Structure 1
Amino acid sequence: MTFTDRTDAGHKLAAELARRTWTDPVVLALPRGGLPVAVEVATALDAPLDVVVARKVGAPDQPELAVGAVTADGVYLLDDDTLTALGLRRPDVAQQITAATAEARRRQDRFGAAEPPSLPGRDVIIVDDGLATGMTALAAVHAAREHQPRSVCLAVPVGSGAAVRRLEAAADTVVCLSQPPKFTAVGQWYRDFRQVTDAEVDALVTR
């Protein structure tokens, strides 16, 4: 399944989620890319929309290589298998965790709702534009759990099979419209996968 853009993916994901029963749902977007998708979901479910910011923790000498993820709440997860393969220990990435947490908090302050919706006892639906490794989504699920929701659902248009399995072990429900067998990157399943700008995020969160 290929999507025209994130809005198209959001329409299709929203249609699937609308067929399910939810208890007082709240939609949380992983910005930036997850926000255009989440807007369509929140509209279809008539649910409040906020963001949950998670940032990749990069390896010290290879910042593009994810060894974990953190959220603005300070929740962090590390991939011990990747650390071991790189000859690293957890203390070796302490600076990277601190820097990623600070950036996550900055983005949460900028993009988050002035009055965030209450999560306890509600169905929380975390939305992104896709899953590659799933580390940032996994951190977001753990962060949502801290607020004692009724349930946590991770919803994406497309994802790798390995990432979906990783999230199924953490979330109550994972909704993924497409799990292509030859998955290399999220962007390959979108005709238009241009980067979402801060200005576009600002416009979407104030809709």
Structure 2
Amino acid sequence: YKTYNAPAVRVAVRPLPHRPGAPAGAVPVGHYALHEGVSGLRFRTGEAFVYTFGVEGAGNSAALVLPAPRSTDKLEVYGPDIKEEKLPDGTPQKTFRYRLVPHQPGALRLDSLFHLVFFNPTTARYDTLRSELRPEVRGEARSIAAANPAEDPFYGPALARADSQLQPLDVYQDVRRYAGWLLGALLVVAAVGWWRSS
């Protein structure tokens, strides 16, 4: 085989401009567009539905991380399920899929929950992808019952008896080893029995 050497190339890396009042952290750089969807437009209180926040475009998709929305007494948030793929034209797409359970009637403002700040190198400015959907929730207001393990007839005593000692991570390897020995002993017994009968 042959080895080829090329002269070193210097790349000038410019820092991102300062964002006043912004928390410290990595900001994705690229050209992104938002494609969002919801599994319906009208829902009842207590009814779960799916919201999808999809980001398409060129850039570092590994740095695309949505701020984690927190559940409140008005809305439960579960997820996200994250999926990365390439569209037929080769454009990368990263999708964040959430399950939401509203507990208050009215228009649900998703823009306050789901948004992504990124830096656009073409315009040299920060931009924000923000949800524009406002699903309508109908029904009576519901309260979320707080779980109290001490009052639970099963988990209260079970938690009191639970062992807080850390278990070794190789416990399953020991089980596999013992099972192998047992199978080997059974094969020896079967072979001896077959030999005696013949």
TM-score, with structure 2 as normaliser: 0.25
User: 1 or 2, which has the higher helix percentage?
Assistant: 1
TM-score, with structure 1 as normaliser: 0.25
